[in-house]
Amino acid sequence: MQTNWDDLRLFLAVAREASLSGAGKVLRLDPATVGRRMQRLERALQATLFAKSPQGYALTDAGLSLLGRAEAAERAMRSAVADLPPDSDRLSGQIRIGAPDGSANYLLPQVCAALARDNPDLDIQIVALPRVFNLSRREADTAIAVSAPTAGRLVVQKITDYHLHLAASDAYLARHEPLRTRADLSRHRLVGYIPDMIFDRELDYLGELGLDRVALASNSVSVQTNWIRQGGGVGIVHDFAVPAMPGVRRILTREISLTRSFYLIRHMDDRRNLRLSRFAEALTTGLRAEVARLEALA
């Protein structure tokens, strides 16, 4: 029995998400529909592909065997699409970007808005989550990271450096003791990441400064910046975010200054995909320009 690509596409989603609901979200299908399609595929192949349990869907030996073939078909399909000549210079279709919420909140909206304006048939999705994205599971077409991965079949491109400094609101500074040196920080309330939820060592800003108590902590950059903006305390902020934080200013800039980098990550199977390559080039150019513009305003 021959299986078609659509059957394999659904099978891959269930295998990667280990659940019908997760696959349904990726495929934009009702989970019940995905379940019926998998039952139909199993009947057609006369094989049980998944072991179902309360913990999710796990591949059986037959499922693992099909997985390798399905992934090979996926690579062939992507390669075939990549070799098709574009109808025009404009980008079209849907592209999903995975990004940590600092870049997702303060950089990507304006950069992607410009890309969408120049490419009316292009649909852009931004998945803003404080974690590393798994491109092998196709959680996104491309991802932005704060450190370059060293494992996996990935293409890694440095986008740009960016800078971070301590910041506080004028209201907070007016109510508390002066902050003239790094030693003064011990008498102030700190805002930062939840220590055991820091997903990349590059984000351990306060640990790098030797500060171990975080009075107001969140795994979200936007929550941290809003705490600072509301006068909750002192914290490390991206220079490119400062222009969006009225009433907040950088402090101790000569004593404390951090530099980090953004990287654009793509799956190696997509390196010949002309559409994604053109999008990556436009996105990288836009991000570099936007970081430079906003940092000049900080």
pLDDT of residue 238: 97
pLDDT tens column, 1-53? 456 778 888 899 999 899 999 888 888 888 899 999 899 888 888 999 999 88
**Average pLDDT across the chain, whole number:** 88
How far is Cα 14 from Cα 20, in angstroms, rounded to an integer? 6
Check pLDDT > 70 for residue 88. Answer: no
Which pLDDT score is estimated for 1? 47
More confident residue, 220 or 85: 220
- Supply angle C-alpha 52, 56, 57, rounded to 5: 55
Q: Which pTM was predicted?
A: 0.70
* pLDDT, tens digit, 9 for 90 and up, residues 247-294: 999 999 999 999 999 999 888 877 777 888 889 999 999 999 999 999
Asked if 288 and 159 touch (Cβ cutoff 8 Å), the reply is yes
pLDDT at residue 224 in the model:
96
CA dihedral of residues 60, 66, 70, 73 (deg, nearest 10):
170
96-105, 107-116, 131-140, 217-226: the lowest-pLDDT one: 131-140
Instruction: Quickly list DSSP for 153-212.
Output: SEEEEEEEEEEEEEEEEHHHHHHS----SGGGGGGS-EEE--GGG--SGGG-HHHHTT--
pLDDT for position 233: 96
Residue 137: the pLDDT is: 67
- pLDDT at position 89 is 62
Domains, the chain, ranges and CATH? 5-82 (1.10.10.10), 93-160+261-297 (3.40.190.10), 161-258 (3.40.190.10)
Stretch 197-218: mean pLDDT, rounded? 87
**Strands (E) located in 30-121:** 50-53, 56-59, 93-99
Backbone dihedral angles phi then psi of residue 252, each to the nearest 5 degrees: 50, 40
